[in-house]
Amino acid sequence: MAALDSKIFGNKRVIHGNQVATIDSKMADLDGNMAVPGNKRVTFGNKMAAPDSKMAVSGSKRVTFCGHIATIGSKMAAPGNKRVASGNKRGPFINKMLVLDTKMAASGNKRVTFGYKTAALGGKMVAPDNMRVTFGNNMAALGNKMAALSPLPPGHRGLLAPLWWPGLLLLLLLPPLGHGATFKVGVVGPWSCDPLLTRALPELAAKLAVTRLNKDPAVNRGFWFDYVVLDEACHPAQAVAGLVRAEGRASGFVGPLNPAACGAAGLLAAAWNKPLFSWGCLRGEPWLRGPVAWPLPPAPAVLYAVLRFFRWAHVAVVCSQQDLWREAGRGLADALRARGLPVGVVATMEPHAEGARTALRQVQAADKVRVVVMCMHSVLLGGQDQRLLLEAAADLGLADGGMVFVPYDALAYSLPYRAGPFATLTNSSKLRRAYDAVLTITIDCPERSFHEAFRDAQRGYEVPTHIDPEQVHPLFGTIYNSIYFLAMAVEQARRAGRWVMGASVVAHARAFQLDGFCQPVAAGEDGAAHMAYVVLDSEPRGARLWPTFRLDLGSPGLRYLGHPIHWPRGTGPGTDPGCWFNASALCSGGVDPTFVLLMFILVCALILAGAAIAYYIRRRIQHGQLMKGPNKIVLTMEDLTFINTQSSKKKLDESRTSLAGRSASDTKSVKSLGATPETTNVAVSEAVEKHPGTIQAPLFLLLLSHYGLVASWQGDWVWLKKFPGETHPEIRPATKMAFCKLRDLRHENVNLFLGFFHDCGVLAVVSEHCSRGSLEDLIRNEDMKLDWMFKSSLLLDLIKGMKYLHHREVIHGRLKSRNCVVDGRFVLKVTDHGYSELLEAQKVPRQPPRAQAPELLRDPGLQRRGTFRGDIYSVAIIMQEVICRSTPFCMLDMAPKEIIRKVERPPPLCRPSVSVDQAPMECIQLMKQCWSEQPERRPTIDQIFDQFKTLNKGRKTNIIDSMLRMLEQYSSNLEDLIRERTEELEIEKQKTDKLLTQMLPPSVAEALKTGAAVEPEYFEEVTLYFSDIVGFTTISAMSEPIEVVDLLNDLYSLFDAIIGSHDVYKVETIGDAYMVASGLPKRNGNRHAGEIANMALDILSAVGSFRMRHMPEVSVRIRIGLHSGPCVAGVVGLTMPRYCLFGDTVNTASRMESTGLPYRIHVSLRTVQILRLLNEGFKLEVRGKTELKGKGTEDTYWLVGREGFHKPIPTPPDLVPGASNHGISLAEIPEERRKKLEKVRPGLAK
């Protein structure tokens, strides 16, 4: 801000964006202070410099300084404990501002806008009055001062206008001098996630592009370009989080590469108003918003142009398992589908051995696939997934010309095909044959290849000369081109006089050309770069690629380059109809749409006709099953034999003559049959059989009234319940469906539904006969003694039966004591369930119910259907009947109709009363809950069952079953006890087996358990590991015994955890010695040396960070010795048997350990030979000749590491000349411990 000789006026605000340069003078010096009148606040964003003097803040609005503020020579003060902001308009100060040599004042009520950088002003500058002054991207240096005018009264401001307008016009007309603001490009990509992308050298590519940009006179007049490489996380969510943190690190971005992060990146770019140039974001995605441009032609458009030329419409996409490639494949498939192509399969290669074959089998199963797009790294550049995919395609016969494989990644760079044969194809004949089915579409470099362009940069010392161009990924050139493309768009926006923001930069990424890294690049009117592509094919039986066609997106079709495409069997994939590539045509694989429509109508008609025929046949079959066969449910007189339970043995002699010739209106038959029942010997079935034409419904009903409703069917007694009404000539279909539903209900406490009687116009339900009659008959029988145990048994049976029905979604609706029957075992069964549904289906007029829930009495609709809560009310009324052994509401002494009226129309509430001496209080409370006036407050049948079980403590209460219950309980307890003991025995056995296998090898342990002899076994070659603690004697002397035990336990527990991840066997530990072997008792070929070596490296690395609990200052150093050779292993001893090793190999391994040095792995020559034979990258150093006790002098080695092993290894201590270097000095022991032990054991610490 400039300095005013007086106070700052105005009610607008000035915002300084990002960073403000150093101001050498004070701000608004008013007697050493700067005053801004008012009581509002001034907000300084992020950081503020240290002013030397105070600055008073006043004014009525606020001034916001964003980003960083440079050092101000004076102090700023906020009087009155308030922060005050001046001005209510803001002018963005972008990036940095140059040094202002003098003061600059902003006054008035309009805004002053400073662009990216502002040049040095030699004098003061004042923006007076109500106008606003805009300073664009660059401002020239003014040699004179603009008058610093104090605010004048409104009447005098007109005199000032002629003075500052010429200066303003001169200022705007001056040519720009020098560079403006710094424009930093952020290069975003998963550079550290993928080794192949790391080879693209994004740092070097960005540096080369920026260096050339700053030297290019066509683009360096407005900005000084810089770069920053931003590593994109592997996972999309983490990548978006990284982009959020990159807001202030760059002015524009190149990237991201992962399409999954493009949506969020576009929104962030829009929020920051910064341009985003990415070739990884697919154009046309609905979720892609914001200032986004494409420095490459959209890959789907290039691929679509090639597919349209060859007329290949059916496409499959196979992706690698990385998120980058999965999202790219999904986006590519969506883009091709949006263009009308039938992309049938988008498969992902799983990271296992059969992943490629599984993905290709999905492609095989698809219909008419012509092209397989491989979304993964090219095998020519080291992509292993593509190698596996192509080799699997060759094995499955998919690389014989029937399909063409297209690498997707080559669309993003220029493949250096002119450099000569590719080593990947030269080294594998199988891959070379499979690559005959591959067409590579890549960016064309017409004049020089990527490698030649890179070498040119090396010759100009623009890139390091030690880098092999063939090891650089061609994506290097794409990064270079993208940065150059973004810079050209920035320059275009600057030249147009627009703000260099996100939207304006993207809007000007059009109509310019530039020289790319190795090819010309043109910006099209669509905001995307235009480049030439070539279609490469492999030469026959060769490892080179040659161009066959050239593609220019600006021109239609592909241009033939003189080299025909070589197909594996002479012919390529078939072609698809051209309608797939015509947006206005309806395509169905080449079939006439009219024919398809007619076929569709015909198929629908056939389906409807077939469904109608099937329905008719099904109805006929169901009707036949109902009427005939073993599962029939419609019974007639031929199926039943009626029984007179009162005089079943008496004869009706006169029934034959009395029945003959009688009509339906003959009422004398009743008197005839009733007069002499003892002499009648003809059953009803015989009468009907003899006179089928004369027996009609009234007479048949008369016979039923005489013989009763009990009959015999298939040897069992059954009970008939007749439907109300005189005659029922037919059974309705809905009634049959209800019968089928009832037939499937089977439960111990639900009376079995057997069938349906329909004959002579009579309709009746046939159910199982229960010899003891209904519950109502039982509780009215005074001869039957019913104690509480008996009553609770009957009620529990009732509850279980209703629970079953409710779980099967069956509402009883007519539950009462007469509809509960009791069999010969005193088991209560619910009957007449579903009877209301049958009456409703058969359209039978119903009689008004006598005792139902209050809500059912009030609502005729609910009466017909019934409710679950209404059944709960009926259960409570039956409970009252059983407890009191009387009719419902017996204690009220009222007529039934009066009781129903009072129940239906409360108040007062009419309910039965039961005394506490007739039943437990819990049962009475449960009964009262069940007949609550509000249905929703009644418990469910499950809750009733749980409470009643608690009431009876879960015991069965049937008298007959009591003895059986006791026997069952005893048997169950015995079984539980046996099961518990067996489980305990099994647990102990497992503990014993685990302990035994920890002491001995599993094979030896199994042999010992079976009692078999364990013979000693000879092993041709194993590798042994010995280690001990350096200076263990000294440490033990300076430690308490319990501390020594803790030390060894901690250290060996660490070792045991490490050896669990290696194919080794722990032999034994003796004191501080630790012995491990590999190659026994399980042989593993030559891998034993590698397993021991890897284990030794892990142990050595872990020991480097190990500390003793009682002496953490003293490092625990170990010596390790390794040796390979034959040995014999066997079990020694019967008491505490041990698995021991014998042979010279054991002694030599021990000598290797004892002659080693601290923090060193001492390896014998034989072990070194095996390690070199394994070729696993073990790093060995020659120690030289070593004297081994009893063995003489031998060549030994140090194992110091392995390729790929990055764990830290402790540094061995320096050797003391002339010393044994096999212990630790007392100087390493803490002085406090030496003094403490000196008191306990004098002379020990000396």
In a domain, 287, yes or no: no
pLDDT in tens, 714-751: 778 888 887 776 555 566 666 667 777 777 788 888 98
CATH number of residue 1157's parent domain: 3.30.70.1230
Q: Which residue has the tokens 């080695």?
A: 1197
Query: pLDDT over 70 for what percent of the chain?
Result: 72
Q: What is the pLDDT of residue 955?
A: 55
- For residues 672 and 722, membership in a common domain is answered with yes
Of 17-21, 40-44, 175-179, 884-888, highest mean pLDDT: 884-888
- Per-residue burial over 545-582, b = 16 or more CB atoms within 10 Å of its CB, e = otherwise: bbbbbbbbbeeeebeeeeeebbbbeeebbeebeebbbe
- For residues 23 and 139, membership in a common domain is answered with yes
Q: What is the mean pLDDT of residues 953-958?
A: 56
Please give the Cα distance from 1017 to 1129 (Å, whole number): 5
In a domain, 1126, yes or no: yes
Amino acid at 847: Q
Report the phi/psi class of residue 775: left, alpha or beta, with left for phi > 0 and alpha for psi in -120 to 50: alpha
Specify the length of the chain in residues: 1246
pLDDT in tens, 1195-1208: 899 999 999 888 88
Q: What is the mean pLDDT of residues 102-119?
A: 35
Q: How many CB atoms lie within 10 A of CB 1233?
A: 16
Of 791, 796, 700, residue with least CA distance to 748: 796
- For residues 1038 and 1139, membership in a common domain is answered with yes
pLDDT in tens, 357-388: 999 999 998 878 999 999 999 999 999 999 99
Return mean pLDDT, the chain.
76
Q: What is the pLDDT of residue 205?
A: 95
Q: What is the mean pLDDT of residues 925-933?
A: 88
Q: What is the mean pLDDT of residues 874-879?
A: 90
Q: What is the pLDDT of residue 140?
A: 34
Q: Are strands 1138-1142 and 1178-1188 parallel, antiparallel or unpaired?
A: unpaired
Query: pLDDT over 90 for what percent of the chain?
Result: 28
Confidence of residue 824 (pLDDT cuts 50, 70, 90): confident
Classified as helix, coil or strand, 1019 is strand
Q: What is the mean pLDDT of residues 58-67?
A: 36
Residue 595 sits in which domain range? 591-625
**Boundary of a domain, candidates 929, 951, 973:** 951
Q: What is the pLDDT of residue 76?
A: 37
Task: Dig out the tokens for 1025 from the structure.
Answer: 């590991």
Confidence of residue 63 (pLDDT cuts 50, 70, 90): very low
Q: How far is CA 1064 from the centre of its chain?
A: 37
Amino acid at 369: V
Alpha helices in 427-579 (DSSP H): 429-434, 450-459, 475-495, 502-507
Q: Does the pLDDT at position 1210 exceed 60?
A: yes
CATH number of residue 868's parent domain: 1.10.510.10
- For residues 1045 and 1113, membership in a common domain is answered with yes
Q: What is the mean pLDDT of residues 183-204?
A: 92
**Boundary of a domain, candidates 740, 768, 796:** 768
Please give the Cα distance from 382 to 371 (Å, whole number): 22
- For residues 1196 and 1069, membership in a common domain is answered with yes
Sign of CA dihedral 397, 400, 401, 404: positive
Between the CA of residue 562 and those of 441, 487, 538, what are the distances in Å?
17, 38, 14
Stretch among 460-469, 505-514, 1209-1218 having the lowest mean pLDDT: 1209-1218
- For residues 792 and 891, membership in a common domain is answered with yes
**Boundary of a domain, candidates 123, 147, 180:** 180
Q: Are strands 558-560 and 520-523 parallel, antiparallel or unpaired?
A: unpaired
Q: What is the pLDDT of residue 1077?
A: 94
Number of domains in the chain: 5
Please give the Cα distance from 112 to 110 (Å, whole number): 7
What dihedral do alpha carbons 732, 736, 741, 747 form, nearest 10°?
Answer: 110
Q: Report which DSSP code applies to 197.
A: H
- For residues 1015 and 1069, membership in a common domain is answered with yes
In a domain, 997, yes or no: no
Classified as helix, coil or strand, 486 is helix
Please give the Cα distance from 486 to 276 (Å, whole number): 9
In a domain, 191, yes or no: no
Sign of CA dihedral 758, 764, 770, 773: negative
Stretch among 408-422, 729-743, 1011-1025, 1159-1173 having the lowest mean pLDDT: 729-743
3-state secondary structure string, 521-554? Answer: EEECCCCEEECEEEEEEECCCCCCEEEEEEEECC
Please give the Cα distance from 1127 to 807 (Å, whole number): 72
Stronger pLDDT, 1133 or 390, i.e. the higher one: 390
Classified as helix, coil or strand, 448 is coil
In a domain, 1144, yes or no: yes
Q: Does the pLDDT at position 646 exceed 80?
A: no
Q: What is the mean pLDDT of residues 692-716?
A: 58
- For residues 667 and 740, membership in a common domain is answered with yes
Q: What is the pLDDT of residue 381?
A: 92
Stronger pLDDT, 942 or 618, i.e. the higher one: 942
Confidence of residue 225 (pLDDT cuts 50, 70, 90): very high
Classified as helix, coil or strand, 454 is helix
Q: What is the pLDDT of residue 1241?
A: 56
Of 218-227, 476-485, 995-1004, highest mean pLDDT: 476-485
- For residues 1023 and 890, membership in a common domain is answered with no
pLDDT in tens, 943-952: 999 888 877 6
- For residues 1131 and 1027, membership in a common domain is answered with yes
pLDDT in tens, 127-179: 333 333 333 333 333 333 333 333 333 343 343 344 444 444 444 444 343 44
Q: Are strands 820-822 and 276-277 parallel, antiparallel or unpaired?
A: unpaired
In a domain, 761, yes or no: yes
Q: Does the pLDDT at position 111 exceed 90?
A: no
Q: What is the pLDDT of residue 78?
A: 36
In a domain, 1061, yes or no: yes
Task: Dig out the tokens for 62 from the structure.
Answer: 């606020």
pLDDT in tens, 13-37: 333 333 333 333 333 333 333 333 3
Please give the Cα distance from 828 to 847 (Å, whole number): 26
Q: Does the pLDDT at position 1035 exceed 60?
A: yes
- For residues 1177 and 1028, membership in a common domain is answered with yes
Classified as helix, coil or strand, 84 is strand
In a domain, 227, yes or no: no
Please give the Cα distance from 876 to 957 (Å, whole number): 19
Angle subtended at Cα 712 by Cα 710 and Cα 713, rounded to the nearest 5 degrees: 125
Q: What is the mean pLDDT of residues 517-530?
A: 88
Q: Does the pLDDT at position 297 exceed 50?
A: yes
Q: Does the pLDDT at position 1131 exceed 70?
A: yes
Q: Does the pLDDT at position 204 exceed 80?
A: yes
Between the CA of residue 784 and those of 55, 772, 778, 779, 789, what are the distances in Å?
109, 11, 7, 8, 14
Global pTM value? 0.42
- For residues 1133 and 1081, membership in a common domain is answered with yes
Which positions ≥6 away from 605 have C-beta within 8 Å? none
Of 915, 923, 914, 924, residue with least CA distance to 948: 923
pLDDT in tens, 244-287: 888 889 999 998 988 888 888 999 999 999 999 998 888 767 66
